């Protein structure tokens, strides 16, 4: 399997505040082509760098996670002269999950692969609470390189755990590397102490590339790791010449002010693979956007299934400014609904990163790019039943629109729960005012109806307007 190395870019001193202006430099990150390297063959250690700014927005939060830094040297029998855990860090997030990250460095003159790190979580008495064996963010790891490991533990009952990290296995590597470009990097520091890394992957090869994972780590001016995370979303499959977006968000709560020597390293793993036959999905018409009352940016489109299969789409959207700089990227899974052959459904992209923490003037938005990932888009045998929603009443109270109605099951089989999608639109010009979804629990037998209530704040979009409403409802067959 062919794997990648990592990308490093250095941040400049923070100067501007409030605006979501993002630093951006285009780079072409060329690694070695697949060349079947032998373990004793010297491997170049090429790093590309971006000189850019990390620009913050003002703001303060009191519900920040507690960051705890600790050095946990490797204690395994593997010789430190070859490979070692040089540092590890842990912190609890707002939900109480324990995040453990650390750094492994290859001190040898050979490429090492399949490196596994055992993370042990113990209480104050030294009793093991939980453990996990995790891979590195980069594989193989070439001479002199460092890479990180990242893991999240849920439901940890203690607040002061003892964390150790040991290398438990590895072997010599004989794999080459995959060539592709990472470009259009957008770095935004937002008011809630988060660093959003958004960019594009360009497959410049003549064969498809499968991107297994992208990770980023934040290092302080002394070279110590402070925070790290894997990507929230991105293109897992790229055909030759295709461009796909990605986004990684890193919590920098413990690093209030970035310094010129601070470094964010971007690691990735990828391999060449076979061509995936295209499945018939397409977007209809031009996308449109609206800004919700809470300031959230929503990009709305309509998707149609032109294939003969029931599909569970994995959709990506990117937004660019007039200069072609990437502003942000978002993911939509169609509210979790499958899309039947010839069916069309509205799509909402609202899970943006920095865009929702300092919304730029919509006039800055130049174009949108919508795509679906054929690797993450799955065919499914689950054929949800179309239900019949009926609108009974609608009331607009100072911009708060409240809708009541019933959902009926016209089919011959019962459904276990339902999802209703509501598109509110302006009858004057047809523009979308809001797109929401709501789920309901319980069994709905054939011929049975159940009431529903929807409420949406349209004070920013529509004021006292009485909007038109498009309702779509589907239920999951009871097994």
In 3D, which of 419, 432, 359 has the Cα closest to residue 389?
Answer: 419
Q: What is the mean pLDDT of residues 143-161?
A: 89
**Is the pLDDT assigned to residue 337 strictly greater than 70?**
yes
Residue bearing the bigger pLDDT, 180 or 43: 180
Q: What is the mean pLDDT of residues 367-394?
A: 91
In 3D, which of 208, 350, 332, 211 has the Cα closest to residue 281?
Answer: 332
188 falls in which pLDDT band (50, 70, 90)? confident
| pLDDT at position 359 | 58
18 falls in which pLDDT band (50, 70, 90)? very low
Residue bearing the bigger pLDDT, 76 or 351: 351
**Is the pLDDT assigned to residue 79 strictly greater than 50?**
no
| pLDDT at position 255 | 53
| pLDDT at position 268 | 85
| pLDDT at position 370 | 94
| pLDDT at position 236 | 92
Q: What is the pLDDT of residues 254-277, one digit of tens each?
A: 554 444 447 888 888 888 999 988
88-92, 251-255, 343-347: segment of lowest average pLDDT: 251-255
| pLDDT at position 8 | 35
Q: What is the mean pLDDT of residues 15-29?
A: 26
Domains and CATH numbers, the chain: 1-275 (no CATH), 281-379 (2.60.40), 385-477 (2.60.40.10)
Q: What is the mean pLDDT of residues 317-321?
A: 92
Residues 6+ apart with CB under 8 A from 210: 236, 237, 270, 271, 272, 273, 375
| pLDDT at position 20 | 25
Q: What is the mean pLDDT of residues 436-457?
A: 94
**Is the pLDDT assigned to residue 147 strictly greater than 90?**
yes
Q: What percent of the chain has pLDDT over 70?
A: 80
**Which of the given ranges, 12-26, 178-192, 413-427, has the highest pLDDT on average?**
413-427
245-259, 329-343, 381-395: segment of lowest average pLDDT: 245-259
pTM for the whole structure = 0.76
Residue bearing the bigger pLDDT, 72 or 213: 213
**Is the pLDDT assigned to residue 222 strictly greater than 60?**
yes
């Amino acid at each position: 399997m062919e794997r990648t190395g990592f990308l490093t870019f250095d941040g400049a001193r923070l100067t501007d505040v409030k605006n979501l202006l993002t630093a951006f430099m285009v780079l072409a990150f060329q690694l070695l082509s697949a060349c079947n390297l032998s373990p004793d063959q010297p491997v170049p250690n090429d790093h590309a760098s971006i000189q850019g700014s990390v620009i913050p927005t003002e703001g303060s939060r009191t519900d920040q996670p507690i960051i705890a830094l600790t050095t946990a040297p490797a204690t395994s029998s593997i010789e430190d002269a070859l490979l070692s855990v040089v540092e590890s860090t842990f912190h609890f997030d707002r939900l109480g999950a324990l995040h453990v990250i650390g750094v492994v460095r290859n001190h040898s003159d050979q490429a090492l692969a399949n490196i596994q790190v055992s993370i042990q979580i113990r209480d104050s008495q030294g009793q093991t609470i939980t453990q996990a064996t995790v891979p590195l963010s980069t594989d193989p790891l070439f001479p002199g390189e460092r890479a990180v490991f990242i893991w999240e533990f849920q439901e940890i009952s203690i607040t002061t755990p003892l964390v150790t990290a040991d290398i438990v296995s590895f072997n010599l590597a004989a794999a080459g590397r995959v060539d592709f470009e990472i470009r259009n990097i957008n770095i935004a520091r937002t008011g809630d102490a988060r660093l959003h890394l958004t960019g594009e992957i360009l497959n410049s090869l003549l064969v498809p590339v499968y991107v297994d994972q992208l990770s980023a780590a934040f290092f302080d001016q002394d070279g110590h790791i402070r925070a790290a995370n894997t990507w929230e979303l991105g293109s897992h499959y790229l055909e030759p010449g295709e461009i796909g977006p990605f986004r990684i968000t890193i919590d920098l709560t413990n690093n209030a002010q970035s310094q010129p020597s601070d470094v964010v390293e971007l690691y990735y793993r990828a391999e060449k693979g076979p061509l995936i036959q295209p499945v018939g999905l397409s977007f209809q018409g031009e996308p449109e956007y609206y800004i919700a009352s809470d300031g959230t940016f929503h990009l709305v489109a309509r998707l149609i299934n032109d294939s003969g299969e029931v599909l569970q789409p994995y959709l990506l959207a990117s937004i660019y400014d007039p200069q072609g700089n990437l502003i942000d990227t978002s993911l939509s899974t169609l509210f979790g609904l499958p899309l039947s052959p010839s069916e069309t459904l509205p799509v909402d992209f609202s899970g943006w990163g920095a865009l929702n923490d300092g919304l730029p003037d919509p006039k800055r938005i130049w174009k949108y790019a919508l795509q679906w990932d054929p690797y993450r888009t799955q065919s499914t045998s689950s054929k949800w039943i179309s239900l019949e929603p009926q609108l009974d009443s609608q009331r607009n109270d100072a911009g708060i629109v409240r809708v009541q109605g019933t959902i009926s099951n016209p089919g011959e089989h019962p459904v276990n729960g339902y999802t209703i999608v509501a598109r509110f639109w302006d009858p004057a010009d047809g523009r979308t005012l809001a797109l929401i979804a709501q789920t309901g629990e319980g069994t709905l037998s054939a011929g049975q109806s159940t009431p529903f209530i929807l409420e949406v704040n349209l004070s920013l979009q529509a004021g006292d307007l009485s909007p038109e409403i498009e309702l779509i409802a589907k239920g999951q067959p009871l097994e």
